[in-house]
Amino acid sequence: MKTPFRLDDHPRRTSPLAPPPDGYFERLPHRVLERVQPAPAAEWAMPGWLLALSRPMRTALASAVLLGGFATSFFLSQQVVSPHQPATEATAAMALANVPRTEMVQYLLASDQRVTLPDLAELPGTADQTVTDSFLQASSAEVQDILDEQPTDDLYL
């Protein structure tokens, strides 16, 4: 088992460390600067006209170049992408309407993705209402009977 360390058990030095030589801290900055190597001038060379500008002007110029480059790339990317994408939702709806219904049902049945209520909520309001006529053939009395058979427990109170 280790013995606990106690500072009082260890003797202290009788004399403090030797003081620094006279003028040491006054000469220290000059000695450090003499040892530091200057940065190579070739790496930081700037054109003469750029050096003639003040620092705020150089900062403004750099900001303008950066903003101009961003705006140019944004507008060029919009021109390149737009001809390949559908222009409106109407053309997308027409392309979807051209897909045979059997293929669409097979795709929905084969995929692991399930259609949820939020997916159906994103459908446009002008959807073709005649689609439901082919599979919903219930009278209002039948619908009312089915709703009456549902339990009326108030689970959400």
In the chain, domain spans: 48-84
pLDDT in tens, the chain (157 residues): 788 888 888 888 777 778 888 999 999 999 998 888 776 655 556 778 888 889 999 999 999 999 999 999 988 887 654 455 545 666 777 888 888 888 887 887 777 777 777 776 666 655 555 666 666 677 888 888 888 888 777 666 5
What is the reported pTM?
0.28
Map residue 35 onto helix, strand or coil: helix
How far, CA to CA in Å, does 75 sit from each of 52, 66, 82, 83, 87? 33, 14, 11, 13, 17
Write down the pLDDT at residue 86.
Answer: 46
Write down the pLDDT at residue 154.
Answer: 65
Q: Cβ distance 115 to 108 under 8 Å?
A: yes
Write down the pLDDT at residue 23.
Answer: 92
Whole-number Å distance between alpha carbons of 119 and 129: 17
Structure tokens of 130? 């005649």
Whole-number Å distance between alpha carbons of 126 and 134: 18
Residue type, 124: P
Write down the pLDDT at residue 89.
Answer: 65
